[in-house]
Amino acid sequence: MYLNKKGAAYLYAAFFLLFAMIIAISIGTVSIPVEDVIKIIINPIIPGDLLTHVDPMYVNIVQNIRLPRVILAGLVGASLSIAGAAFQGLLRNPLADPYTLGVSSGASVGAVITLFFHVTIPFIGNFTLPLLSILFSFITIFFVLIFAKKMDPTMRVETIILTGIIFSSFLSAFISLMIALTGDELRQIIGWLLGSVSMRGWVYIKIILPFFIIGTGLLLIQGKELNALAFGEERAQHLGVNVQTRKILILLAGSILTGAAVAVSGTIGFVGLVIPHLVRILVGPDHKHLLGLSMIIGSGFLILTDLAARTIISPTELPIGVITALIGAPIFALILINRRNGRNKKNA
């Protein structure tokens, strides 16, 4: 059957994600044959017992350690990637992502306060952490927009980006101050802030999943509107887009995804910045496909990054945020150089 370019892109992305999941589950301190990994994963779905000849130790490792870790990494990668793609489309700027806009730093402040003061909202329990992270991330983007409006009534994209970076720096300094003042009590939070999906288990998947569904659901239906906004707000308004409502929805959805991701994994940079660029190179700027493909490829990317973090200097485990920065920064630099060279050729 003939597949068009977009259909083929979805197929390749799905294979990439599946490959990343199986490899990440298979490789580790104890290597598990790929065949056994597949049997363990599909056993609950396929009638009959496929685990008759599978080592029980492998079953325990896959079901209780590696599978939840891989799924959590995939959800975090997907959340950050689709949020980054949406923010870049909304602000029409390649530098926009949850981190440059201060959303991630706001979510980190909410998470650190929750963890340090052991805050628990009655009747919510484990969902206190992501809810407060999301609340702080949305408050941060709200103040970023207000401050940008005060600085520049026209709210140019460059002003919003600059304001986001200022807020991000301020909030990061606030977190560092808290750590410095409290000493040993926040050492575990320092490790958490560097980013990790280690030893989180199924509980953390249950925490992030409802927010992931809500956030991605809100963004995936904004494809046409983001395409219209790419031509500017006035043009989008003429095309029938309710610009203010769509802005709020996209910022809210991005804040939900970023806040939930930060709550379960800490701060992991460059995923929301680089992955949408790579997908845009592959399939073009159409947000109807860019959002979904960014989500799938970002998921696979973070799964493989987490695999690298725990195997490069095994048994010591590196923070996943360090690996994403080491990979993401050079890739992003190359993308910017190529974009500049492309503009120079057009102007020549």
| pLDDT at residue number 19 | 97
Q: Residue 72 in contact with residue 208, Cβ under 8 Å?
A: yes
| pLDDT at residue number 346 | 63
Q: Residue 81 in contact with residue 276, Cβ under 8 Å?
A: yes
Structural domain boundaries enclosing 234 = 5-342
**Looking at the domain assignment, is residue 254 inside a domain?**
yes
pLDDT, tens digit, 9 for 90 and up, residues 53-84? 899 999 999 999 999 999 999 999 999 999 99
Domain count, the chain: 1
Q: What does the mean pLDDT of the chain come to?
A: 88
Mean pLDDT over 282-298 rounds to: 94
pLDDT, tens digit, 9 for 90 and up, residues 181-235? 766 656 667 767 778 898 788 999 999 999 999 999 999 999 999 999 888 888 8
Query: For the residues of 265-286, what is the DSSP string, one character each?
Result: H----SHHHHHHHHHHHHH-S-
* Claim: this prediction has a pTM higher than 0.85: yes
**Looking at the domain assignment, is residue 127 inside a domain?**
yes
Least confident of 106-115, 230-239, 284-293, 337-346: 337-346
What is the four-CA torsion angle of 179, 184, 186, 191, rounded to 10 degrees?
Answer: 100
**Looking at the domain assignment, is residue 218 inside a domain?**
yes
**Looking at the domain assignment, is residue 327 inside a domain?**
yes
Kindly tell me the sign of the dihedral angle through the C-alpha atoms of 325, 330, 333, 335. Answer: negative
Closest to 74 in 3D by CA, of 308, 299, 320: 299
Q: How far apart are CA 138 and CA 231, in angstroms?
A: 26
End-to-end CA distance of the chain: 43
Q: What is the CATH number of the domain that holds 261?
A: 1.10.3470.10
Other CB atoms within 10 Å distance of the CB of residue 143: 14
Residue 120 has pLDDT above 80, yes or no: yes
Residue 26 has pLDDT above 90, yes or no: yes
- Bigger pLDDT: 161 vs 131: 131
**Looking at the domain assignment, is residue 126 inside a domain?**
yes
**Looking at the domain assignment, is residue 348 inside a domain?**
no
